[in-house]
Amino acid sequence: MLTVTRNKMQLIDLICKDMASHKDDYRQHKLVLTGSDPVPVEINSGVIIKRQDMKTTQEEADTIIVQQVAEVKAKKVLVVADDTDIFVLLLHFCCQGDIPVSTSVLMVSPIHGRAVIDINATVDQHREIIPDLLAAHGLTGCDTVATYFGIGKAVALRVLRAGVYARSYIGDTIRVLSEITSQATPFILACYGQTRCTSLTEARQEMWASKVGRSVAGAPKLASLPPTNEAFKENVARAHLQVAVWRNALQPDPPRMDPTAFGWSREDGSKTLFPTTLPSDIPLAPDDLLKLVRCSCSSEIPCKTQRCGCNSANFACSVFCACQGGQHCFNERTKQALQADDDDENDDVSQLNPGTYTHLYPSANTQ
């Protein structure tokens, strides 16, 4: 339901109206509410006033939080959040000096018992890599950008410390996508350990050949390989759009960029955005190959019997088959492959939260 922007805005408005209706409860503290209206409202001693000085058309809560941290005139600011994007944004703007060094910024999770993060101390300790952290985080996966299988934040940090920079042109709105993709390529290649390659497609072929060359049975899962150049370009476009919004987080308005020009497609009815995996003119595989490896089973129990070409050949079905090799496929080998993928993903893919960077920040005194 909340993938539809209109529904999300209605829910936010309901929450803000309900809190404003209890204005008399806020006698000892000042509360500022930021909803769908560009102008936040302040509740103080039962009085509601408009805060024109805090007007913003930024749509992401992450950027609004950082924007308000920069505007607060206080010696200490405590950000209550458990979100990696906010953590990286705070590091970025504190390092740049946009958030005054005189302001002590702390971040604490709403989950009781977790460490309090001292943002200022983290910046001092890791200043050499923080200028690249925003781009590296966006490139390797965030709320709006897909991750690369097996490439977690620890890998990205290791590559940054090795001197492979990620900042390039990502998030720079005056750069064209071809330039951005060219400069993002070496960083992702380094994450895969393929620094001798010049493109993601070449690295994909190299990794496949190196494993299959030793043993046919050792053929790697497609998900573990680097994406093709075409798929990589779409992911870089989404990362560029997201990082551009982040870099302009302290501005009243986000950059005017059409998501459909940066790796997204929009559904006509709900206006919901969906990631574009490949350009419409790029096939998933050559037609000759598709004819060799796919089945066309379409019964109520597809691929269960030996009539299925994949089943009879002792192959698992794939995305190229009529069943798409998904949960509704009755081929036992497909089910085993799906279960193995789930197990690997649970083992290898890091969850996105500030704990992903636990070796990067020191803890503050919680007293």
In single-letter form, the type of residue at position 112 comes to H
Assess whether pLDDT exceeds 60 at residue 350.
no
Distance of CA 178 to the CA centre of its chain: 21
What value does the mean pLDDT of the chain take?
A: 86
Query: Is residue 216 pLDDT above 60, yes or no?
Result: no
Quote the CA–CA distance of 96 and 238 in Å, as a whole number.
Answer: 24
**Overall pTM > 0.85:** no
Does residue 352 register a pLDDT over 60?
no
Provide mean pLDDT across the span 278-286: 77
pLDDT band at 364, cuts 50/70/90?
low
| Phi, psi for residue 346 in degrees, rounded to 5 | -65, -35
Sign of CA dihedral 311, 313, 316, 320: negative
H or E stretch at 41: strand 41-44
Least confident window among 45-49, 79-83, 166-170: 166-170
- Separation of alpha carbons 297 and 308, rounded Å: 6
Burial degree of 128 (CB within 10 A; 0-12, 13-18, 19+): exposed
The residues facing 78 across adjacent strands are 106
CB 240 within 8 Å of CB 180? yes
Q: Residue 208, CB half-sphere, CA atoms under 13 Å: how many?
A: 13
pLDDT at residue number 167 = 66
Cβ pair 92, 73 in contact under 8 A: no
Rounded CA gap, 82 and 351, in Å? 12
Rounded CA gap, 317 and 339, in Å? 14
Taking residues 42-57, what's their average pLDDT? Answer: 90
112 pLDDT above the threshold of 80: yes
Candidate from 176-180, 268-272, 326-330, 360-364 with smallest mean pLDDT: 360-364
Domain layout of the chain by residue ranges? 1-55, 59-265, 287-348
For residue 289, what pLDDT is reported? 63
At 9, the amino acid letter reads: M
Out of 59-68, 120-129, 327-336, 343-352, pick the least confident.
Answer: 343-352
What's the CA gap between 40 and 50, in Å, rounded?
A: 6
Contact 39, 26 (CB under 8 A): no
Own/partner long-range contacts of 32-37 (Cβ < 8 Å, ≥24 apart): 32/68, 34/64, 34/68, 36/9, 36/12
Q: Which residues contact 61 (CB under 8 A, 6 or more apart)?
A: none
pLDDT score for 236: 96
**pLDDT at 353 (0 to 100):** 58
pLDDT at 242: 96
**Closest Cα partner for 135 from 100, 177, 110, 166?**
166
